[in-house]
Amino acid sequence: MKGKKTTIHEIAKALNTTASTVSRALNNNPRISEETRNKVLKMAEKLGYEPNTMAASLRRGHSKIIGIIVPYADRIFFSSVIRGIEEEVKKSGYNVIICQSYEKIENEVDDVNALMAAQVAGIIISISRETNKYDHLKKVMNKNKPLVLFDRTAETINTSSVAIDDFQGAYSAVNHLIENGFKQIAFFSGNKKVSIFRERFRGYQAAMRDNNLLIPDEYIIEVPSDVDQGKLVTQQLMSLPNPPDAICSSSDFSALGAIKWLKENNFKVPDDVGVIGFGNDPFTQYLEPTMTSVDQKSKDMGKTAAQVLLEQLEGKNSIARKVLLSPELIIRDSSQKLAIKKAAV
Amino acid sequence: MKGKKTTIHEIAKALNTTASTVSRALNNNPRISEETRNKVLKMAEKLGYEPNTMAASLRRGHSKIIGIIVPYADRIFFSSVIRGIEEEVKKSGYNVIICQSYEKIENEVDDVNALMAAQVAGIIISISRETNKYDHLKKVMNKNKPLVLFDRTAETINTSSVAIDDFQGAYSAVNHLIENGFKQIAFFSGNKKVSIFRERFRGYQAAMRDNNLLIPDEYIIEVPSDVDQGKLVTQQLMSLPNPPDAICSSSDFSALGAIKWLKENNFKVPDDVGVIGFGNDPFTQYLEPTMTSVDQKSKDMGKTAAQVLLEQLEGKNSIARKVLLSPELIIRDSSQKLAIKKAAV
DNA sequence: TAGAATTGCGCAATCGTTTACGCAAAATTC
DNA sequence: GAATTTTGCGTAAACGATTGCGCAATTCTA
């Protein structure tokens, strides 16, 4: 019972053959006879052999581990992507190793180095909000390690990426509001330095334009993804001489802030003001009213990122692939005026 | 720029010395002079040296990676524990690798094997709901790999563990309800085969007994952690000839089900019926009324589990340590009758 | 049936580090 | 100043698996 590990050499000795034969048998090398292979398999089983992946990785030049870097591992969006990746790569015998950047570029750089040192087979990353230089990512590419960005991608470097179509997400959200009779639609944008937020903003603009609706400057507000900040700017908005009749937010949290402030101040949601969030965080379905939100397909995103990476790993495809997933508008109560909703039934 | 990696041999050659000297210099071996060490460091920097952790791990017998196994990586409790672990082990230069068991014992066994094969330094695990045999865990211990269980622990094997005091959590929750004037308190238990749920149940019983309150058999219901199931059993409960005036739940989700059913059926929460959940899931703070819940200290749990594991790794402590963290009752609106609340102010 | 191709397996180098051992030079002890 | 200890570093053997090369034995080709 003492943890004496068996190696292929032990198996070889027991079978009066050599380690190379055992190795080949174990790896289904066609140059090994069925008979020998079976003997090896049986003996391996008997001796409780378990391969030392370190040794194999060392020889091979990389491990069967995929590195993942996210800002925070405990945010539902990221943890859900991670789950998707894990599920997918497991099928091919890979494991995932998680690093957090805490939205700091220094951590991100360190993480990349650590992962490279750990000889990961490839890296899947959602870059930090701070990240504006890409030398660390280029280093990965220069070493010919597959690299896939997700959600927060970088346009300036030529790498594979998976994201949702943020433009379309915002566009369909705004369109939905308009279909439900809202006309004066304000927009909560995130930090416009980040591409996903720029795209959402563009989607909002396009939808308004396509429906011949004007956008007063005061209707566009940059607000962090935060409940209290959401409340604050909602107060501002509703104090305008021409307050909006709906809010489309780039974040579920600021949308929640909006709903909270509105209810506290005796506005009815959605009858007085409609609200739509972005992200489809689980809490949105438990609110009153339940919140309409754009689902980011996080698990799919993870699965897809994993697939793209594996493709690259297996050499099938070395050119960068940019995948855009379609977001899904999850329609709940916060965006449908009761009268209209009833009429529709 | 082509990913030619520099090894210690290259450094040695450039310095007209040997790999062993370089290795020792890099590892702060005291038998190396300051002068040599500095030369090595400088040259390593110059040549862009990055250590190959695979090789080192192979030689050392284990990697600087901690394996984590959880049922689901995207459940807030687990992702939060993972975050805590990652933050803590990173300080000592370790990384974490994540596996999911999906509550299946076969997956758990596979995961353990995969982690052992990856030569992880140790394993931190929250066992699946199904797990009732522990051979796979014993194997880890037999190979002298540190093993730490968290939250869902196993009493029958002698290993370190970190959990919250579920007894105390439930006890203080029930006590709080009683202090707020509730007397007929029902209990939503989870699956009593799982130790944490047994403990919570015991806490409930003890608190009731200590306050000389009787528990009708019908008040104790085993219900999965699920909103709809919570609704269902709440309906049952409230149809009793002697319905409860409060519900203490082992889960936030079934508690949410209770609140939903109660509101839909014109019961006031908390004035007619008080409700307390367990887990302090983020959504609890966004409900109406906001939900009182027992916080499980997930991030602390992760940090502590990591500390216990590292202690064991560094050989300071080879005997099993069982740590119980104190849960924290987060008091919100669902458990305080308005009259009493005002009086308290 | 001679020559070519294929099959089955052993030899030995290799991946990049770490580390026990040993030895000379320098420093210390008495 | 001889004997001992310490310092500084080189030699070489690991760690456990993979794989190019080569060589017999077998099968196939013509």
Q: Is A166 on the interface with B (CB under 8 A)?
A: no
Is nucleic acid strand D under 7 Å from A119's C-beta? no
Decide if pLDDT at B341 tops 60.
no
> B87: which chain A residues are within 8 Å (Cβ-Cβ)?
100
CA separation for the pair B140, B123 (Å, rounded):
8
Q: Is A116 on the interface with B (CB under 8 A)?
A: yes
Residue A92 lies in a domain: yes
The residue of chain B nearest to residue A66, with distances taken between CA atoms, is B97
Is B62 in contact with B121 (CB distance < 8 Å)?
Answer: yes
- Mind listing the pLDDT tens digit for each residue in B123-142? 999 999 899 999 999 989 98
The verdict on A147 and A277 lying in the same domain is no
Residue A337 lies in a domain: yes
Largest CA distance in chain A: 91
Of A87, A119, A144, the CB nearest to B3: A144
In the prediction, which pLDDT does A188 show? 98
In the prediction, which pLDDT does A341 show? 55
In the prediction, which pLDDT does B100 show? 92
Contacts of A168 (CB under 8 A, 6+ apart): A203, A326, A327
The pairing of beta strand A160-164 with beta strand A65-70:
unpaired
Residue corresponding to tokens 């927009």: A187
In the prediction, which pLDDT does B317 show? 63
The verdict on A333 and A322 lying in the same domain is no
Which one-letter DSSP state was computed for residue B309? H
The verdict on B215 and B240 lying in the same domain is yes
The verdict on A125 and A264 lying in the same domain is no
CA separation for the pair A63, B118 (Å, rounded):
9
Does the beta-carbon distance from A54 to B54 stay under 8 Å?
Answer: yes
> B100: which chain A residues are within 8 Å (Cβ-Cβ)?
83, 86-87
Decide if pLDDT at B179 tops 70.
yes
Is B162 in contact with B301 (CB distance < 8 Å)?
Answer: yes
Whether the upstream peptide bond of residue B289 has omega within 30° of 0, thus cis, is: yes
The pairing of beta strand B274-279 with beta strand B246-249:
parallel
- Mind listing the pLDDT tens digit for each residue in A235-258? 999 999 999 999 999 999 999 999
Is B78 in contact with B47 (CB distance < 8 Å)?
Answer: no
In the prediction, which pLDDT does B339 show? 60
pTM for this structure? 0.90
The verdict on B13 and B92 lying in the same domain is no
CA separation for the pair B1, B158 (Å, rounded):
52
The verdict on B155 and B66 lying in the same domain is yes
Q: Which among A103, A115, A110 has a CA at the least distance from the CA of A73? A: A103
The verdict on B335 and B209 lying in the same domain is yes
Is B148 in contact with B162 (CB distance < 8 Å)?
Answer: yes
The verdict on B286 and B305 lying in the same domain is no
Q: Work out the burial of residue B314: count CB atoms within 10 Å of its CB; fewer than 13 is exposed, 13-18 middle, 19 or more buried.
A: exposed
The one-letter code for the residue type at A214 is: L
The verdict on B241 and B283 lying in the same domain is yes
- Domain interval for residue A215: 166-296+329-344
Is A288 in contact with A128 (CB distance < 8 Å)?
Answer: no
The verdict on A323 and A333 lying in the same domain is no
Domain count across chain A: 3
In the prediction, which pLDDT does A79 show? 96
CA distance B120 to chain A (A): 10
Residue A278 lies in a domain: yes
Task: Name the packing angle between helices B53-60 and A53-60 (round to 10°).
Answer: 150
User: How many secondary structure helices (H) and strands (E) does chain A include?
Assistant: 13, 12
The verdict on B175 and B268 lying in the same domain is yes
Q: Which among B270, B132, B244 has a CA at the least distance from the CA of B188? A: B244
Is B249 in contact with B275 (CB distance < 8 Å)?
Answer: yes
Residue A156 lies in a domain: yes
CA separation for the pair A326, A53 (Å, rounded):
38
In the prediction, which pLDDT does B342 show? 54
Is A252 in contact with A224 (CB distance < 8 Å)?
Answer: no
Question: HSE (CB half, 13 Å, CA atoms) of A209?
Answer: 6
Is B161 in contact with B323 (CB distance < 8 Å)?
Answer: yes
> B189 forms bridges with which residues in the sheet?
B222
CA distance B54 to chain A (A): 6
Decide if pLDDT at B1 tops 50.
no
Is nucleic acid strand D under 7 Å from A90's C-beta? no
In the prediction, which pLDDT does A1 show? 36
Decide if pLDDT at B3 tops 50.
no
Q: What backbone phi and psi angles, to 5 degrees, belong to B169? A: -60, -50
- Mind listing the pLDDT tens digit for each residue in A192-217? 988 899 999 999 999 999 999 999 99
- Mind listing the pLDDT tens digit for each residue in B69-126? 999 999 999 999 999 999 999 998 899 999 999 999 999 998 998 888 888 999 999 9
**Per-residue pLDDT averaged across B302-318, rounded?**
86
Decide if pLDDT at B245 tops 50.
yes
Residue B56 lies in a domain: no
The A274-279 sheet, strands edge to edge: A220-222, A185-189, A246-249, A274-279, A292-295, A328-330
Residue A2 lies in a domain: no
The domain that contains B323 carries what CATH number? 3.40.50.2300
In the prediction, which pLDDT does A343 show? 57
Residue A205 is inside which H or E element, if any? helix A195-210
Decide if pLDDT at A61 tops 70.
yes
Distance of CA A238 to the CA centre of its chain: 34
A307 or A61, which is more confident: A307
Q: Which of A149-163, B270-284, B323-337 has the lowest mean pLDDT?
A: A149-163
Q: Which among B118, B106, B127, B102 has a CA at the least distance from the CA of B66? A: B118
CA separation for the pair B182, B270 (Å, rounded):
10
Per-residue confidence at A133, pLDDT binned at 50, 70, 90?
A: very high
The chain-wide mean pLDDT, for chain A, equals 93
Q: Work out the burial of residue B31: count CB atoms within 10 Å of its CB; fewer than 13 is exposed, 13-18 middle, 19 or more buried.
A: exposed
Q: Which among A118, A37, A276 has a CA at the least distance from the CA of B90? A: A118
CA separation for the pair B99, B66 (Å, rounded):
11
Contacts of A155 (CB under 8 A, 6+ apart): A195
Is nucleic acid strand C under 7 Å from B235's C-beta? no
Task: Name the packing angle between helices B19-26 and B34-46 (round to 10°).
Answer: 100
Residue corresponding to tokens 């403990």: B199
∠ at Cα B14 (B12, B20), nearest 5°?
5
In the prediction, which pLDDT does A2 show? 41
Give the SS3 label for residue A100.
Answer: strand
> A76: which chain B residues are within 8 Å (Cβ-Cβ)?
74, 76, 79
In the prediction, which pLDDT does A316 show? 57
- C1' of D14 to CA of B61 (Å): 12
Distance of CA B216 to the CA centre of its chain: 33
- Mind listing the pLDDT tens digit for each residue in A275-331? 999 999 999 999 999 999 999 999 999 999 999 999 988 775 678 999 999 999 999
Locate A116 and state its tokens.
């490279």
The verdict on B277 and B233 lying in the same domain is yes
Query: From the CA atom positions of chain B, what is the Rg in Å?
Result: 26
Residue A1 lies in a domain: no
First to last CA, chain B: 69
Residue B284 lies in a domain: yes
The chain-wide mean pLDDT, for chain B, equals 93
Does the beta-carbon distance from A3 to B80 stay under 8 Å?
Answer: no
A116 or B162, which is more confident: B162
**Per-residue pLDDT averaged across A57-82, rounded?**
93
